[in-house]
Amino acid sequence: MDAHKRALAEVCPCERPDCQTLRSQMPRLELRISELEEENARLAASANSFGDLADRLNARLRERRSRGADRRERYRRSPDRRFNRHD
């Protein structure tokens, strides 16, 4: 490096070769950040949809279980199946 470039690098550190390499990578990195932010938004929306689906499923299962409890007791031979064994 000649004296002029060396003096410039001391005054302005962004003129150093490693800074220029980083600066040249900035557009690619900014694009990647944008892509990741979009992916994050899609994943958040998917998580919300999945949570809503799980809530609906749990509500239906609770409803079925509450309706099914009477049905199971009606057809059971004894109040507790554990005492219905044939040893």
Are the beta carbons of 77 and 84 closer than 8 angstroms? yes
The whole-number pLDDT of residue 29 equals 94
Give phi and psi for 76, each to the nearest 5. -80, 135
Number of C-beta neighbours around residue 59 at 10 A: 10
Residue 35 in domain: yes
Residue 84 in domain: no
Residue 83 in domain: no
Average pLDDT over residues 3-25: 71
The whole-number pLDDT of residue 84 equals 58
For residue 23, pLDDT beyond 90: no
Residue 33 in domain: yes
User: Cα(54)–Cα(60) distance, rounded to whole angstroms?
Assistant: 10
The whole-number pLDDT of residue 22 equals 83
Residue 82 in domain: no
Residue 19 in domain: yes
Q: What is the pLDDT of residues 27-84, one digit of tens each?
A: 999 999 999 999 999 999 999 999 999 999 999 999 998 887 555 555 666 666 666 5
Choose among 21, 24, 41: nearest CA to 33. 41
Give the distance, in angstroms, between the CA of residue 86 and the centroid of all CA atoms in the same chain: 52
Range of the domain at 13: 3-74
Q: What is the pTM of this model?
A: 0.51
Residue 80 in domain: no
The whole-number pLDDT of residue 47 equals 97
Report the domain count for the chain. 1
